[in-house]
Amino acid sequence: MLRVAVCVSGGGTNLQAIIDAIKSGKIENAQIVRVVSNNKNAYALTRAGKAGIEGICVSPRDYESRELFNRALLARLQEAEPDLIVLAGFMVAVPACVIDAFRGRIINIHPALIPSFCGKGYYGLHVHEKVLERGAKVTGATVHFVDEDLDHGPILLQKAVEVKEGDTPEVLQRRVMEEAEWILLPRAISLIAQGRVTIDESGITHISGK
């Protein structure tokens, strides 16, 4: 059974997609062992509670320095003994100590087709604002492994989504979630739980089997 810790910051619709996929059997062989939020008011924590999953808050505000927060975050993740950490709308730069401790075992969902519309300043609704400002006709979502560089690690899954005439950032965000994110993230966890994902020396992922 793959032990999954999920890190969140806000509404938690991606967390919900994972909870639902485990419940319906779309993801077999995995359980969420802990939800960690940097924001105590995140609705994602309520979603975790409703699903009977332990949810905790580790906020930088509760620590005197970033270093102390980083160490606390690492400790609270390690306690849960996860095999996989899923960043599902986690708006905190993952500290190097966490990346080191869980190398190759952290995935993130990004609401665009990496390497477009990613990096510093590209998070949440801002991503969709920039897509519309640039006049891109296609966007999408990406699940990738996390390394030291923002939105940079090996790409696992991607799905394109059409940008439509008259889209607002909110409308586009919702379409990207419905058509891509809520499908890709559970699928990525399922593939990893089935042991079907490898990363080669060049940092390219490969998915075995059907």
- Let me know: does 83 contact 4? Beta carbons within 8 Å: yes
Per CB under 6 A, 140 contacts ligand GAR: no
- Let me know: does 197 contact 207? Beta carbons within 8 Å: yes
Q: How far is CA 208 from its chain centroid?
A: 22
Q: Rule CB under 6 A: choose which of 5, 109, 131, 188 binds ligand GAR.
A: 109
We find the least distance from the C-beta atom of residue 208 to ligand GAR, in angstroms, to be 26
Per CB under 6 A, 13 contacts ligand GAR: yes
Per CB under 6 A, 63 contacts ligand GAR: no
Q: For 88, list phi and psi in degrees, rounded to 5.
A: -115, 80
We find the least distance from the C-beta atom of residue 103 to ligand GAR, in angstroms, to be 20
- Let me know: does 158 contact 207? Beta carbons within 8 Å: no
Per CB under 6 A, 142 contacts ligand GAR: no
Nearer to ligand GAR, 44 or 99 (CB): 44
Report DSSP letters for 31-76, one per residue: EEEEEEES-TT-HHHHHHHHTT--EEE--GGGSSSHHHHHHHHHHH
Nearer to ligand GAR, 57 or 194 (CB): 57
Per CB under 6 A, 10 contacts ligand GAR: yes
x/- letters, 25..44, toward ligand GAR (CB under 6 A): -------------------x
